[in-house]
């Protein structure tokens, strides 16, 4: 009886690992893809350290958002972040210097970027 219970528990544990692993791997892949796109397209303004101090900011009248500010990023609603990336800063009453990216990125790439921007704080919230 004890052996049956133990082997049943092991089977259940193994099944749970396989059920969880693909989601974790998928989330990890999305996070890495978002990091790559951020490094390619966003660092010029938002900086390699994500602090809003990119190479293009010297002459800007409005400085880009500091994405390294975890508390500040957590305070922004997900819908607002999505809209800012899709339609540009002016669409959310922020700087018009933030361009719309909907013609460059797919909807999925933008949606996947939001958790990256929030430093994965809200990755499980979606």
Contact status, residue 125 vs residue 78, Cβ threshold 8 Å: yes
The pair of structure tokens assigned to 4 is: 């049956």
Domains of the chain: 27-125 (1.10.760.10)
pLDDT in tens, 5-62: 334 443 444 443 433 344 577 888 888 999 999 999 999 999 999 999 999 999 899 9
If we measure between CA atoms, which residue out of 39, 37, 47 comes closest to residue 110? 37
Contact status, residue 93 vs residue 103, Cβ threshold 8 Å: no
């Amino acid at each position: 009886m004890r052996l049956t219970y133990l082997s049943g528990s092991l089977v259940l544990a193994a099944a749970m690992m396989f059920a969880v692993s693909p989601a974790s791997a998928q989330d990890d892949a999305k996070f890495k893809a978002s990091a790559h796109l951020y490094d390619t397209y966003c660092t010029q303004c938002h900086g390699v350290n994500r602090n809003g101090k990119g190479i293009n900011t010297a002459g800007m009248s409005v400085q880009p958002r500091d994405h390294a500010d975890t508390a500040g990023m957590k305070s922004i609603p997900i819908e607002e972040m999505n809209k800012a990336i899709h339609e540009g800063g002016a669409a959310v009453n922020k700087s018009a210097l933030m361009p719309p990216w909907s013609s460059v990125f797919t909807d999925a790439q933008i949606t996947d970027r939001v958790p990256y921007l929030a430093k994965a704080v809200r990755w499980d919230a979606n």
